[in-house]
Amino acid sequence: MMRYTFLFLLFLLHLNGQTQSLAEKLGYDEDAKLLIIHADDLGVAHSENQASFLAMKIGMVTSASIMMPTPWVSEVAAFAQENPEADLGLHLTLTSEWKYMKWGPVAPLGDVPSIVDSLGHLYDNCLTFGQKATVEEAKAELKAQVEKAYKMGIRPTHFDTHMGCLVFNSVELFEAYLQLGRDYKVPVMVDRFSLQVAPQAFKDKLTRQDVIIERILSATPAAFESGMAAYYEKSLRELSTGVNIMLVHLAFDDAEMQALSVDHPLWGAEWRQQDFDFFTSKKCQQILAEENIQLITWRQIKHVMYKD
């Protein structure tokens, strides 16, 4: 009888573990408002790196992700080694969108010819990438980026995807994205809000190993035109419960970023300076406190999901 009681208790514990929300697994109440403020595009420029590093040290930014093919990635690797507690993931990169600043793949060109243009650069948009790239060559490039990160001393806390190229472009690419996280035991950024409108074939690729956050928030061109600070305040005031991500792009509006983003005002130098200004401001800190928003990191999620 005692044996059956013990087995029943184990079953209940197992069932409870399956029904726990991500917030509860992290040690918070189910109705807690949890937020990762996440800086994209580390490695693209010195200005991008320095603004992001500073915002992680003095501002409210809790996480960032690195573009491994970019020219300033070595500076990020040095920062990672000097700041092992920093929450740094990989911004898996399969496009090169700027007008004059271009990069190619991490994998040898001969191994991944379908993911590059005639000059050996990654395509400048996700649509062209999705139409021309073979899944096997895309997977080879993704693995090369992860392996390069580890060789440079970076231990990624999560994976996400630059410009969203791996999410809902094709079922096969989405599956490759998820599988990369499973293989390396690293959470992959996927949100429940976006999945609501995804075709069922994408949803079918998810397993219990995969982390699903509530929502990914990010400023749009309309927000830039009407005022970034107003958009961010509204988003924070209306934040839903559970684990949310606020994607931001930080840099200084200096000569380097102005040159990099020439003819590209959206997500350009002025946009990135405004992001930096808001997420290092007293106003942002005040709103977070007033709305009882708890800042968390991907490292915490990685630890509870993979005990690492």
Tens digits of per-residue pLDDT, 253-304? 999 999 999 999 999 999 999 999 999 999 999 999 999 999 999 999 999 9
- Find the distance separating the first CA and the last CA of the chain, reported in whole Å: 37
- Structural domain includes residue 112: yes
Whether residue 7 has pLDDT greater than 70 = no
CA distances from 120 to 32, 106, 277 (A): 47, 11, 36
Mean per-residue pLDDT, 13-28: 76
Using CB atoms within 10 Å of the CB of residue 193, give its burial: 0 to 12 exposed, 13 to 18 middle, 19+ buried: middle
At 209, the pLDDT band (50, 70, 90 cuts) reads: confident
Which phi and psi (to 5°) does residue 91 adopt? -95, 85
What's the CATH number where 295 sits? 3.20.20.370
| Contacts for 75 with CB less than 8 Å, ≥ 6 apart | 43, 46, 49
Q: What confidence tens digit (pLDDT) does each residue in 45-87 have?
A: 999 999 999 999 999 999 999 999 999 999 999 999 999 999 9
Residue 19 confidence (pLDDT):
77
- Domain assignment of residue 108, yes or no: yes
Cβ neighbours for 118, distance < 8 A, ≥ 6 positions apart: none
| Local confidence band at 18 (pLDDT 50, 70, 90 cut-offs) | low
Q: pLDDT value at position 5? A: 44
Helix (H, G, I), strand (E, B) or coil at 291: coil
> Residue 92 in 3-state DSSP?
strand
pTM (predicted TM-score): 0.92
User: For position 9, what pLDDT does the model report?
Assistant: 43
Let me know if residue 9 belongs to a domain: no
Whole-number pLDDT of residue 4: 45
With respect to residue 102, please indicate whether it lies within any of the assigned structural domains: yes
Q: How many CB atoms sit inside 10 A of residue 81's CB?
A: 12
pLDDT of 308 reads 77
Average pLDDT, the chain: 94
CB 160 within 8 A of CB 93: no
Total count of domains within the chain: 1
In this structure, is residue 18 part of a structural domain? no
pLDDT band of residue 305 (cuts 50, 70, 90) is very high
Q: For residue 3, is it within any domain?
A: no
Q: What is the DSSP letter of 163?
A: G
Is pLDDT of 179 > 90? yes
> Is the residue at 144 inside a domain?
yes
Is residue 243 in some structural domain? Answer: yes
Q: What is the domain range of residue 262?
A: 23-306
Q: What is the pLDDT of residue 187?
A: 97
Q: Cα–Cα distance between 115 and 121 in angstroms, integer?
A: 8
